[in-house]
Amino acid sequence: MQVTIVAGNPKPRSRTLKAAGLVAESLRAGDSDQPIETVDVITLGAGLLGWGDAAVADAVSTVASSDLVVFASPTFKATYTGVLKLFLDQFAGGEGLRDVVAVPLMLGAGPAHAMAPDLLLKPVLAELGAACPAPGLYLLDSTYTTDDRITDYAHRWGPVIRTCTSSVSVRTETS
């Protein structure tokens, strides 16, 4: 199973990236010996502002060919970041994330935006063709390394996500 994390934080090597890595590792539960691929979107720079940039195209290809992708963003003005939006705009509508199982993940300072992953990020991923079989995950950026939210989420939703990932992989191989 190929797992990729996409972090749409305006700061490179952010807490968002770290949290996405923890979620991805928990969800795959040792199910793969392949390394987790990482797309730290901000490092793609100005290439996100147009079409045809080789680094952006490589990142899009990596994500589109993954079995499971954790899309992560800090909560920014009650939604996901513009840099993540610029990256998602690189995918074809309806087909760009076909056969990808996606997990929307957002971090914030308080619980006020706890529904943001499901209300704001999940619909965009679904519009791009991704399967989102579980609720999104919202983490407090001050406690995600010490609380049990990631473990609890992986315990509850990991089997569902892995089953869907397996179904998509089988369907893709037989197409």
Is the per-residue pLDDT at 175 higher than 70?
no
**Predicted structure pTM score:** 0.94
Q: Give the chain's domains with CATH numbers.
A: 3-174 (3.40.50.360)
**How many Å apart are CA 23 and CA 153, to the nearest integer?**
9
Give the confidence band of 73 by pLDDT, cuts at 50, 70, 90: very high
Q: Mean pLDDT over residues 24-50, rounded?
A: 91
Q: What is the pLDDT of residue 76?
A: 84
Structure confidence at residue 146 (pLDDT): 95
Confidence bin at 168 (pLDDT 50/70/90): low
> What share of the chain has pLDDT > 70, as a percent?
94
Residues 25, 3: Cα–Cα separation, whole Å: 9
Distance of CA 97 to the CA centre of its chain: 11
pLDDT for 171 equals 46
The predicted pLDDT at position 32 comes to 67
Q: Are strands 37-40 and 3-7 parallel, antiparallel or unpaired?
A: parallel
Measured in degrees and rounded to the nearest 5, phi and psi for residue 30 equal: 70, 15
- Average pLDDT over every residue of 82-90: 97
Using only C-alpha atoms, what is the Rg of the chain?
15
Between 4 and 77, the higher pLDDT residue? 4
